[in-house]
Amino acid sequence: MSKYKIAILAGDGIGPEIMREGVKVLKVIEQRNDVEFELVEAPFGASAYFSHGSSFPEQTQALVDSADAVVKGPIGLSHEESKKIPVDQQPERGALLPLRKRLNTYANFRPVYLPKSLAHFSPLKPEVVGEGIDLIMVRELVGGLYFGHKEMGVDENGVRYVREQLEYDENQIKAILHEAFKLAGARKKVLHNIHKSNVLKSSVLWNEVLEEVAQAYPEVNVVHTLVDAAATALCLNPGQFDVMVMENMFGDILSDQGGGILGSLGLMPSACLGTDGKAYYEPSHGSAPDIAGKQMANPYSMIGSMAMMLEYSFGMQDEAKKVWQAMQSVFADGYSTADLSKPGSGVQMLSTEAFGDKVVEHLIKHG
Ligand SMILES: NC(=O)C1=CN([C@@H]2O[C@H](COP(=O)(O)OP(=O)(O)OC[C@H]3O[C@@H](n4cnc5c(N)ncnc54)[C@H](O)[C@@H]3O)[C@@H](O)[C@H]2O)C=CC1
Ligand SMILES: CC(C)CC(=O)C(=O)O
Ligand SMILES: [Mg+2]
């Protein structure tokens, strides 16, 4: 029997609600397979700061180091609430970025998927959704502006200033580009390279390295697109994209737009893959303070992140597929959570928990 230790970091806001549904799904997978999941919960995020004085306590650091995989709910507070925590200890800076660095999860995969049959979820017209949306954003996750040198101060004239550096070296760029080329080679053999080389030197180096890496993947056709134009193209014709690769901040912004064209960030799972088999899995979105504790959150993003864990960390492709199918069946039966069941949509509203129950039901019946 295979045994895996999974660190469960529920996080803040809607984190605990959606994590509960994900854990229910993992328990079903465990019961139906020759596998044992040791689920170990640990504090992480703003809630950990208030309870343990640190948003990434030492016990959590030790757990993520020893776990076979980590699943993480979103962390963070509303703009107003976040003022209760000193800037440098806020969960994004004090926990999320350090987690990414610790596990060196340089490759972030963010699928943006909506079958044609669910085109009504999207704010785009059905003719724009066309045959459906099925693309994947590959985002560099441990470099760039978010990790570069930062400095705030007051100059000799008493004027406040800030400096933040966008830093990459060629090895970081190579590593993420190899991931993207491999994925493109396994899919439609088209790679959209998203950059801003008309302004940023970092994009100039990125593109130089891309030309070199591309030599190893002659079967992949590269399409260069400036990031601002890519934002428009995602709305006007998402069907033209398959695999998109980009640096950290571009990926942060465009992947939220990905959630927008689907109709909800609740449809955005992700995998954050590192070196030496290290990985963690999290929804692409934040802690949604506006709906936290109301059973309105869509747990698809969390359950989908767990399906990605089954596939990428444990090699359980068939089980992962069944989880995706179970979630799609809930939608196909005409249900969703509050984000995608607005009055007049014809979609029946489920609570977060009821959505999880239906996924479990489908898995048990058809899995
Ligand atoms: N990886 C992480 O832990 C991330 C944390 N954050 C943090 O989250 C906090 C809130 O950030 P916001 O800008 O409000 O972005 P957000 O992603 O939390 O929410 C944006 C909108 O999407 C909705 N939404 C998000 N997830 C949903 C779900 N599963 N189901 C239904 N609706 C959903 C929210 O209700 C809200 O209207 C901030 O403190 C931010 O720094 C933001 C992004 C990622
Ligand atoms: C702290 C942010 C970089 C988190 C975020 O928005 C993301 O990973 O998408
Ligand atoms: Mg983001």
Ligand 1 pocket: which of 81, 285, 327 to mutate (most atoms within 8 A of CB): 285
Measured CA angle at 272 (ends 169, 41), to 5 deg = 135
Q: What is the pLDDT of residue 89?
A: 87
Atom of ligand 2 at shortest distance to CA of 108?
Answer: 8
Whole-number Å distance, alpha carbon 78 to ligand 1 midpoint, is 9
> Domain ranges in the chain?
1-105+274-367
Mean pLDDT across the chain: 97
For 246, the enclosing helix (H) or strand (E) is strand 243-246
Q: What is the pLDDT of residue 246?
A: 99
Structure tokens at 40: 């170990």
Q: How many CB atoms lie within 10 A of CB 153?
A: 9
The question of ipTM being above 0.95 is answered as yes
pLDDT over 90 (residue 16):
yes
For 40, the enclosing helix (H) or strand (E) is strand 35-41
Residues with CB under 6 A from ligand 2: 92, 96, 146, 252, 284
Catalytic residue among 256, 321, 335, 357: 256
**Ligand 1 in contact with 285 (CB < 6 A)?**
yes
- The predicted-structure confidence for 125-181, as pLDDT tens digits, reads as follows 999 999 999 999 999 999 999 999 999 999 999 999 999 999 999 999 999 999 999
Ligand with smallest separation from the Cα of 55: 1
Q: Which residues contact 193 (CB under 8 A, 6 or more apart)?
A: 206, 207, 210, 222, 223, 224, 225, 245, 246
Q: Atom 13, ligand 1: which residue's CA is nearest? A: 286
The Cα-based distances of 322 to 1, 19, 39, 135, 316 in angstroms read 20, 19, 21, 20, 10
**Ligand 1 in contact with 291 (CB < 6 A)?**
yes
34 is catalytic: no
Q: State what percent of residues in the chain have pLDDT above 70.
A: 100
Q: What is the pLDDT of residue 53?
A: 95
The Cα–Cα gap between 8 and 294 comes to 21
Ligand 2 pocket: which of 112, 140, 252, 272 to mutate (most atoms within 8 A of CB): 252
The Cα-based distances of 18 to 170, 261, 364 in angstroms read 38, 22, 20
**Ligand 1 in contact with 45 (CB < 6 A)?**
no
The Cα-based distances of 52 to 43, 58, 86, 91 in angstroms read 8, 10, 15, 13
Q: What is the pLDDT of residue 8?
A: 98
Q: Which residues contact 303 (CB under 8 A, 6 or more apart)?
A: 18, 21, 22, 25, 269, 323, 327, 356, 359
CATH number for the domain formed by residue range(s) 1-105+274-367: 3.40.718.10
